[in-house]
Chains A and B, each alone.
Chain A
Amino acid sequence: MANDRGNPAGRIDMCDSKELLVSFLYDEIDPVAKRNFQQHLATCVECRDELAELGATRAQIATWTPPDADLGFRIIREAESPKRRWFHWSPAWGFAAAAMLVVAASGAIANLHITYGSDGLTVRTGWNHAVDAQAGATNVDWKAKAQELDRRLVDLERAQSQQSVVRTASASDLSEQRVREIVGQSETRQQRMVSARLADMMREYDAQRRLDLVAIGQGMSRLQTSSGADLKQTRDLLQRYLVRTALEEKEEK
């Protein structure tokens, strides 16, 4: 495009310079260029018409106003946010902790053993150790340790009996038997507690299931009752409308 100063002698340049036209249209043009363009307009009908058309278009687009809007924006100072904590306590954490506690307690009661190996996840409780072939090696370890303990106890008792004149050889036998009895009683007690806990859990689960079933049943009944009432209301309205229409027709006749 031509420069803003224009060229009075060059009519073609002036006509081609749309930048000049726009500058003149918006009156953002230096005085010399403005004077030159005015001289050009005096002799060029096309540019004069185009300028008039663009001026009219400007007047037309001035009529477009945006709709009124309820603005009234206002910036208000934000309340200081609490410092970010790395740990946030939430009910989910509470539930998770409670669940862990239950699992741990149950595991402790049931003498629970959880192992993960090549055979996948294995969960064992205390009362099936004897029949668990997979745990043979572990049982061997336990037996070895128990035998070692027994042997030490026997040695200790022998030593004591040597020092005490009142002790007899049968005392060590009695102690060993007593230890075995205590261990057996402990296992029995653990099994009883686990059984009782499982029975409680089953009872609670069953009771909740029954409650849920009752709630579902009540909900279904309410739904049926409600639908029935709506149907009845609609039927009544229809009935009334039919009666009124029939009466009006009768009156008209």
Chain B
Amino acid sequence: MPSTDEELVARSMGGDLDSFNQLVLRWERPIYALAYRVIGREEDARDVAQETFLRAFRALKGFKGQAKFSSWLYRITLNLCRDWIRRERRTPLVQAPEGVDVIELAGEEAPSETVEELVSRHELGRAVAKAMSQLPEEQRTAIILKEYHGLTFQEIADLLDCPLSTVKTRLYQGLTVLRKQLREAGVESTFGK
């Protein structure tokens, strides 16, 4: 049975480097995904993810366990992303390939989907990425944490240091803007129904 985050954290604090590396292995994908969706640049997101674990390792002794380890990682990542956005003074740029390699896509996706569905899904992903990049940072972050990382309203409020009601408002406003932008981009609103 795999160890829980709390167990691995406790062992890491005792100097067990392997335990910490198990945490890294467990969380590197979600952390990279969070960074990528917030800043929209693959290489920079990778750097942010790497820096997140380095900082977490260095500050491990200061981790009191009041929040979940994952929430602590998310907080470090979001701070680094915020620094990146401030430093670069630019809005996220979503790097999406221009063309769609259908064969490559077919290898990745579920066999039940037709080629048309694959292409449609890929293009939809690009449209969503573009629409997300145009959202204000607070709304984008709230939606990312809720939709892709499944955090509760309260966890998001704690991470972003804002009231619960603000989180809900940001989610509502963000979703409404996305719906409008996707409609303007010609994306079928009946998708997924």
The answer to whether A61 and B128 touch (CB under 8 A), given A19-B168, A73-B24, is yes
> Does B179 contact A62, Cβ atoms closer than 8 Å?
no
Which chain A residues numbered 1 to 44 have a C-beta less than 8 Å away from chain B?
1, 18-19, 21-23, 26, 28
Partner of B128, one of A18, A63, A67, A75: A63
Q: For A66, what are the chain B residues with a Cβ–Cβ distance below 8 Å?
A: 32-33, 36-37, 42, 45
- For residue A69, CB closer than 8 A to chain B, the reply is yes
Q: For B54, what are the chain A residues with a Cβ–Cβ distance below 8 Å?
A: 75
A189 to B178, CA, bound (A): 94
Annotate A57-77 by CB proximity to B: 1 below 8 A, 0 otherwise: 111111111110101111111
> Does B147 contact A62, Cβ atoms closer than 8 Å?
yes
Which chain B residues numbered 135 to 174 have a C-beta less than 8 Å away from chain A?
143, 146-147, 152-153, 165, 168-169, 171-172
From A54, A64, A72, name the one whose CB has the most chain B CB atoms within 10 angstroms: A64
Q: For B121, what are the chain A residues with a Cβ–Cβ distance below 8 Å?
A: 63
A53 to B179, CA, bound (A): 8
- For residue A56, CB closer than 8 A to chain B, the reply is yes
Number of interface residues of A (CB under 8 A): 30
Which residue of A has the minimal Cβ distance to B94? A64
The answer to whether A67 and B42 touch (CB under 8 A), given A60-B128, A74-B24, is yes
> Does B32 contact A75, Cβ atoms closer than 8 Å?
no
Number of interface residues of B (CB under 8 A): 46
- For residue B68, CB closer than 8 A to chain A, the reply is no
A69 to B47, CA, bound (A): 11
Which residue of A has the minimal Cβ distance to B128? A64
Interface on A for B, CB 8 Å cutoff? 1, 18-19, 21-23, 26, 28, 53-54, 56-67, 69, 71-77
Q: List 29 A-B contacts (CB under 8 A).
A: A19-B165, A19-B169, A22-B168, A23-B153, A23-B168, A26-B153, A26-B171, A53-B189, A54-B176, A56-B179, A56-B193, A58-B147, A58-B175, A60-B178, A60-B182, A60-B189, A61-B132, A61-B143, A63-B128, A64-B129, A65-B125, A66-B32, A66-B33, A71-B32, A72-B28, A73-B24, A73-B28, A73-B50, A76-B17
Extra 10 A-B pairs, beta carbons < 8 Å, given A56-B190, A69-B45: A21-B172, A23-B168, A57-B175, A60-B124, A60-B191, A63-B125, A63-B128, A69-B36, A71-B29, A75-B24
